[in-house]
Structure 1
Amino acid sequence: MGTHLLQTHRVSKRFKRQTVVDEVSLAVREGTVYGLLGPNGAGKTTLLKMIAGLLHPTGGKILYDGKPWNRKSLEQIGSLIEAPALYGNLTARENLKVHTMMLGLPEGRIEEVLETVDLAHTGKKRASQFSLGMKQRLGIAIALLKHPRLLILDEPTNGLDPIGIQDLRQLIRSFPAQGITVLLSSHALNEVEQIVDDIGIISGGKLRYQNRLDERVDLESLFIEVVRETSGEASAR
């Protein structure tokens, strides 16, 4: 642990005249859970989409495992960004079978990931009948199919009830022991504090803070201080 599986160097994304991500340099250590924190509209999802290959950076570069990111890197990157894309009329197994066929993976992998996310018992129940937490876990199962070394999760506990949050928290915390590094975004500070090893705080498109999580530091106070400094900068301009 300690080597960086993922790094971004001054990565930016502009849409016409608006800069959404502004020269962000992340450093995600292998074998950890990295929490990317920030208020809504801070640029978290846009940054994750660039790492997942869904958007092209306007500037900067992304390094995966010490080498420049390319499409082949995606073979080792799984992601669940925004709502999972599920076929509501299919069961969990059938949803996963569709993806194994598209990815050319063995069907035996289906049972493995269902066990991992605790959905092996769902039988013939259709995905449209799943709770929000079950849908999130099925989305994670799809992301796990190709044995990723890096798993990207965007606001994974958003909208879940307390039991769903606890289940997902335990699942995410188990991944580093399985050789999976996790990069997750969130604005739920209490949840993040119980899951992550390292944190980065993004506000106004810029990375304002990055460090290992220190148990002696109150995360909520740190977050508010960093974000308010950003608001103060914007007001002063």
Structure 2
Amino acid sequence: MSKYILQTKKLSKQFKNQLAVSNVSLLIEENSVYGLLGPNGAGKSTTLKMITGMLRSTSGEIIFNNHLWKRQDLLDIGALIESPPLYENLTARENLKVRTTLFDLPDSRIDEVLEIVDLKETGKKRSGQFSLGMKQRLGIAIALINKPKLLILDEPTNGLDPMGIQDLRKLIKSFPDQGITVILSSHYLSEVEQIADHIGIISGGVLGYQNKIDNSQDLEKLFMQVVTENGREGE
């Protein structure tokens, strides 16, 4: 029997007269990569922001680790949503030192996450001088600093070159073996197909499909079917 680290039950978010997310019920298996697919404006980021406490849901429930989500659960959740939260005048190590101080963690954790994201050799270079791929990896390091059980990555490959995408893909695929469940949002079908164990397709704020990846299935056809049925606009 599968164990779900996260479930949402009829999760909805309304902004004034716009229903951005409507009755979304996600099932995220422990130690897996879940790809949340959808066109731009489908409701992906709004859903992830509710899971991370950045937005309050209008209705519905979030179940984390078999209990109703509470703010304390953020200690077990890491997230990279939109731009990496970097202090660009600080080095990678200094950026992480800010977080270890905040979480009261030993400095040894800095070396651990720099090793994971392959940024140990950046020395005194300020993060503002990093390439986009390096900034993304440092953003993931920040999200990993508190040893989360769940890692949420919102469009992490946006703007990366092919080499950066390949490096990030390899990194994300390694997380379940480290006991980290990943929710990855994207509008790139081929990207999610290569990384994820399960997918959900959201469009118009509605979760139109959710299941294990089936390599015999035409994902593009399925994606277009969901988008056509539910429309594009959500968030």
Q: Secondary structure at the match of 1:194?
A: helix
Aligned residue number for residue 42 of structure 2 = 42
Aligned residue number for residue 205 of structure 1 = 205
Question: Structure 1-normalised TM-score?
Answer: 0.96
Aligned residue number for residue 18 of structure 2 = 18
Is it true that 1:189 corresponds to 2:196 in the alignment? no
Aligned residue number for residue 80 of structure 1 = 80
CA 1:6–1:140: 2 relative to 1, 3 Å: same
Residue deviations 1:11-43, cap 9 Å, x none?
000111111011100000001000000001001
User: For the aligned residues, what is the CA RMSD?
Assistant: 1.2
Q: 2: distance between equivalents of 1:57 and 1:231?
A: 22
Q: 1: distance between equivalents of 2:50 and 2:134?
A: 27
Q: 1: distance between equivalents of 2:91 and 2:113?
A: 14
Is it true that 1:2 corresponds to 2:2 in the alignment? yes
Q: Which amino acid aligns with 2:11?
A: V
Check the 8 A contact 2:206/2:230 in 1, yes or no: no
Question: Structure 2-normalised TM-score?
Answer: 0.97
Q: 1: distance between equivalents of 2:31 and 2:191?
A: 19
How far the C-alpha of 1:229 sits from its partner, in A, is 2.1
Is it true that 1:101 corresponds to 2:93 in the alignment? no
Is it true that 1:222 corresponds to 2:222 in the alignment? yes
Q: Which runs of 4+ in 1 moved over 3 A?
A: none
Stretches of structure 1 that go unaligned for 5 or more consecutive residues are: none
Check the 8 A contact 2:21/2:205 in 1, yes or no: yes
Q: Which amino acid aligns with 1:80?
A: L
How far the C-alpha of 1:228 sits from its partner, in A, is 1.5
Larger relative contact order (CA 8 Å, sep ≥ 6):
2
How far the C-alpha of 1:230 sits from its partner, in A, is 2.1
Q: 1: distance between equivalents of 2:119 and 2:74?
A: 25
How far the C-alpha of 1:219 sits from its partner, in A, is 1.2
> Where in structure 2 are the equivalents of 1:160-171 lying within 5 Å?
160-171=160-171
Q: Which amino acid aligns with 1:155?
A: E
Aligned residue number for residue 54 of structure 1 = 54
How many residues in Structure 1 have an aligned counterpart in Structure 2?
233
Q: 2: distance between equivalents of 1:231 and 1:101?
A: 45
